[in-house]
Amino acid sequence: MQLPVRFAKYELQEFLGGGMSHVYRSLDTVIGRQVAVKLLTDQGCADAEAKERFLNEARMCGTIQHDHIVTVHDYGEEQGRPFIVMEFLRGKDLRDTLKAGQAGDLLNRIRIAGEIAAALEYIHQIGIIHRDIKPENVFIEQSGRSKLMDFGISKAAGLSLTKAGNTMGTPYYMAPEQVQGSTITPLVDVYSFGIVMYELFTGERLVTGDSMERLFYVILHENPDPAKLAAAGLPQPLIDLILRCTAKRPEDRLQSFSAIKQVLLGISSDVRAGAPAAPAPVQPARPPESGNGLKMGPIIGAGLVALALGGVGIWMVVKGREAKTPEPPKTAGKKELPATLTGKGGDMMLVPGGEFLFGSARTPVKVPGFYIDETEVPVKAYQEFAGAAGRALPDGNAPDKPMLPVVNVSFNDARDFCQWAGKRLPGEFEWEKAARGGDGRSFPWGNSSEASNAVVAESNAKEPAVVDSFEHAKSPNKTVHMTGNVWEWVERPHTPSVMAVETFGKVLKPAPTANEPWHYIKGGAFDKPMAQGVGYEWSSVPARMVSPTIGFRCAQDLPE
């Protein structure tokens, strides 16, 4: 095509590139605005499916208005040729930006990732799956602002443009389920975004291979190397986020870009403040050389857990944590330890020392042996403590229901009870090992999310069950109710994100600060979905928080 040339009301002035469609820097001759005109080629027009995809992109993009998505001014068909008119962007796509070494410092790259996440959050909210997230489809303007573009193979809810079993997308960034021709969900964008983040922060493409078969093998079976991310100087929460997004199984990824965006916001705040990635753990953490993905990977990564406390919906950012080589397990010599101990508060079950598979990626971690309460602490036991300590039974606990779990207890209340009983609160890793055993199962009873195994929202529970019920759904360590019923405090200090502090400021008086104590809770509750009771999920709340959905259980060291 000899340029310049007139096309409808647009003057096509400069060819910018393209494949099945060509993009031209153009002039809107009516209003005098510089625009980019995208035309389907003759070859594309002859392909009915390619033409339908192009028209689908035009229709979808015409409804999108977002600061970090390229704006579509016009679309239509002229002389049998479909076209899209977009804002004209000055700058480079992310691929060329990385090649030129112009992505900036760590904070700037986190900002870019956050802007892409915001764009994807928006399109998912309006029912669109992009399906082709890659550096070439992210444009970095001269101002530094990021823009998501190219919705050519995007899919709206209820729309199918490909035959069953076909895959669409750029191979290097395709999710395992795309490779397998499985059902496409928004989580394919989460995976591709994770691959792009890996490249953004390391400068290297994660998936490589000299044949399509090799590429697909890598996508399905090989996992990112966290050592490369660590070598790039990334904070641990960011490493965990990348690894969580690129988990092989969709259910192991973060489930929304709202979650990803807020995690990135928290990481950015930490980096700006010069804060450590996470406080020093109070118990052994995973070895730094642990793997990632389906079988190896981030311990929990970063996630967003919805927690309704006292009828208030609270969204909390959960973040990664530093690794620390575990201490050798404690032993009790050659003396055989009893499987059950009886003491104040009820029976305790032995959890032998050794390795277990931790987090969503089932990372091997060694934990010393310990005992843990078989059940949550019941009202009856807490009432005995309250009487001895001269305290009142917390509101919301009925003395005539002595075997319900005690609730409305703060972290310090739970810790005080444990000390009175000659015990302590369990650490994060101890609690998870007690709940999941050593084989990396998602729930105490296995991997099936059956509502009949727990007191959760799916079972239409209106209140927690008595602590010694659900004997049929015990963990391998013979504990009960470690999914659902009530959240449980664990001994794990945490520095909250700005978002978490602001959110809790709306429901707690006085408003909490990041400098006051915050600790983790785990296990979900009777009013929460089963997914929030997965053994590796967790969240953090101010230590002074009390709620009718939060209780606890105690742990105890092995005898010397």
DSSP 356-370: EEETTTTEEEEE--E
Q: What are phi and psi of 148, to 5 degrees?
A: -80, 140
- 150 given a catalytic annotation: no
Q: How many CB atoms lie within 10 A of CB 339?
A: 13
Question: CA–CA separation, 486 vs 254, rounded Å?
Answer: 23
Whether residue 302 contacts residue 317, with contact meaning beta carbons closer than 8 Å, is answered with yes
- Residue in 47, 74, 93, 132 annotated catalytic: 132
CA distances to 4, 317, 473, 506 from 283, rounded to whole Å, are: 69, 22, 27, 32
Nearest-10 Cα torsion for 293, 294, 297, 298: 90
Whether residue 122 contacts residue 70, with contact meaning beta carbons closer than 8 Å, is answered with no
Which amino acid is located at 54 in the chain? F
Q: Which structure tokens are listed for 177?
A: 């389920």
b vs e for 429-461, b when ≥16 Cβ sit within 10 Å of the residue's Cβ? bbbbbbbbbbebbbbbbeeebeeebbbbbbbeb
What residues contact residue 510 under an 8 Å CB cut-off, 6+ apart?
none
Angle CA 218–219–221, to nearest 5: 65
Q: Which structure tokens are listed for 130?
A: 């992009």
Could you say which DSSP state residue 74 is in? E
b vs e for 189-227, b when ≥16 Cβ sit within 10 Å of the residue's Cβ? bbbbbbbbbbbbbbeebbbeeeeeeebbebbeeebbbbe
Q: Where are the beta strands (DSSP E) in 143-228?
A: 146-148, 155-156
Question: CA–CA separation, 40 vs 55, rounded Å?
Answer: 10
Whether residue 550 contacts residue 522, with contact meaning beta carbons closer than 8 Å, is answered with no
Question: CA–CA separation, 500 vs 541, rounded Å?
Answer: 8
Whether residue 400 contacts residue 377, with contact meaning beta carbons closer than 8 Å, is answered with no
Question: CA–CA separation, 193 vs 134, rounded Å?
Answer: 8
CA distances to 27, 143, 200 from 31, rounded to whole Å, are: 9, 24, 38
- Three-state DSSP at 204 gives coil
Strands 346-351 and 340-343, by their bridges, are antiparallel
Question: CA–CA separation, 407 vs 400, rounded Å?
Answer: 15
Which amino acid is located at 463 in the chain? E
Which amino acid is located at 388 in the chain? A
What residues contact residue 187 under an 8 Å CB cut-off, 6+ apart?
175, 177, 250, 253, 255
Residues known to be catalytic: 132
